[in-house]
Amino acid sequence: MYAAALVVVGLGIMLAVPCLTTQIASALPVERAGIAGGLQSATRELGSALGVAVVGTVLTAGFTHHLPAGLGEHTPPPHTVRDALALAPADHAAVTEAFTHGAGTALRVAAPVVLVAGALVVTGARRGQRTVRR
């Protein structure tokens, strides 16, 4: 299931990036193509950094919340799969389950954000096309 979700994310990125590049490049005159390229690069980098930070934070919170009871009682709770497996090597399945639960939660949080952002981009692009036609 997790791999299928990642394939869908990859396909979405593959379909969205050329459209976004076209929209950004066509929004400015030809003599400002460098500005369009820089704007596209900056928004891609900012979106990637924020996306990784948010998804990583939600994944880690979900992972640590669903770890087996008693793990890390006398030490700080583990924040990585490797640390959790070191503390509970016999409970490999529970640690894996905690990670997949955290990853699933992170993708369910990211999905509506991406859906809303995509809707805003499509709406903005359509408004821009209507303005240009008039």
The residue to which tokens 């709406």 are assigned: 123
Q: Decide: 76 and 67 in contact? Cβ < 8 Å.
A: no
Q: What is the pLDDT of residue 67?
A: 83
Q: What is the pLDDT of residue 65?
A: 85
pLDDT in tens, the chain (134 residues): 778 878 988 898 888 888 878 877 777 888 887 888 888 888 889 988 998 999 999 998 998 888 877 665 656 777 778 888 887 777 788 888 888 999 999 989 988 988 898 888 788 878 766 665 55
Neighbours of 59 (CB within 10 A): 20
Q: What is the pLDDT of residue 129?
A: 67
Nearest CA-CA partner of 83 in 101, 71, 97: 71
Q: What is the pLDDT of residue 12?
A: 84
Q: What is the pLDDT of residue 131?
A: 65
Q: What is the 3-state secondary structure (H, E, C) of 38-59?
A: HHHHHHHHHHHHHHHHHHHHHH
